[in-house]
Amino acid sequence: SQTIHQWPATLVQPVGSPLSLECTVEGTSNPNLYWYRQAAGRGLQLLFYSVGIGQISSEVPQNLSASRPQDRQFILSSKKLLLSDSGFYLCAWIDQNTGELFFGEGSRLTVL
Amino acid sequence: RKEVEQDPGPFNVPEGATVAFNCTYSNSASQSFFWYRQDCRKEPKLLMSVYSSGNEDGRFTAQLNRASQYISLLIRDSKLSDSATYLCVVNLSGGSNYKLTFGKGTLLTVNP
């Protein structure tokens, strides 16, 4: 069966520091992968999605970036964090047959 | 019209009550619709897909009204364990190009 893992689960970072969140999927090949952010009191916002290695589409202009170095690995990065980057970051893959999104357990980021 | 808009809530209901959530979407070409459930500080998980003819899963009933561009979720005989945030999700791009857009969610609290 398919599983999705992301880490770290929680992190507190100072403004201006770099960020790297990692996500891996097991049990499927060539998945469509997504990064969402959920800020306090707001809905899930799609940040990036990827249909294959090296293929990244950005939905919202910002100081974040994403990379897909391997088929089942998706990384979210920032060179310099802002206070507004605080939130709950969720990686997901989609079952193309049903349209169901499966989320990782999330990474809760607090920027101070 | 916002892309996906839900009842703002919150809803506070007693055990055994029936509660209904509504959601409207902007793109008439949308073809995939879902309700997700999110527990506090957890990742969202699929509750049920919404089919054109309407569908039922135990105490939960989902309906789609394409003409008015809204979907609904009805929960009968509410349980304490139903307390969660319910997210309306729409594939606004249509077809198999899955870019799911989430509503902000409606918080439900079922009280003893």
Q: What is the pLDDT of residues A19-56, one digit of tens each?
A: 999 999 999 888 999 999 998 878 899 999 999 999 99
For residue A41, give every residue at least 6 positions away whose Cβ sits within 8 Å of its Cβ, in sequence order, or none: none
Query: What is the percent of chain B where pLDDT is above 90?
Result: 74
Cβ <8 Å between A96 and B34:
no
Q: Summarize the confidence of residues B78-84 as an average pLDDT.
A: 98
Mean pLDDT of chain B: 91
Q: At residue B1, does pLDDT exceed 90? A: no
Question: Is residue A29 within 8 Å of A97, Cβ to Cβ?
Answer: no
**Chain B: closest CA distance from residue A106 (Å):** 6
Interface of A with B (CB under 8 A): 32, 34, 36, 42-44, 46, 49, 59, 88, 90, 94, 96, 98-101, 103-106, 108
B90 reaches A (C-beta below 8 A)? no
Contacts of B46 in chain A (CB under 8 A): 100-101
For residue A4, what is the nearest residue in chain B, using CA coordinates? B43
Q: What is the pLDDT of residues A58-96, one digit of tens each?
A: 888 678 999 999 999 999 999 999 999 999 999 999 988
Query: In chain A, what is the straight-line distance between the N-terminal and C-terminal CA atoms, in Å?
Result: 39
pLDDT score of B16: 98
Interatomic CA distance for residues A50 and A17, integer angstroms: 25
For residue A95, what is the nearest residue in chain B, using CA coordinates? B98
Q: Which conformational region is residue A27 in: left (phi greater than 0), alpha (psi within -120 to 50 degrees), or beta?
A: left
Partner residue opposite A42 with nearest CB, options B4, B96, B104: B104
Contacts of B98 in chain A (CB under 8 A): 32, 94, 96, 99
Q: Which two tokens stand for residue B91?
A: 């594939």
B27 vs A92: which has the higher pLDDT? A92
Strand B32-38 relative to strand B55-57: parallel, antiparallel, unpaired?
Answer: unpaired
For residue A44, what is the nearest residue in chain B, using CA coordinates? B102
Q: Give the CB-side neighbour count of residue B43, counting CA atoms within 13 A.
A: 20
Contacts of B34 in chain A (CB under 8 A): 99-100
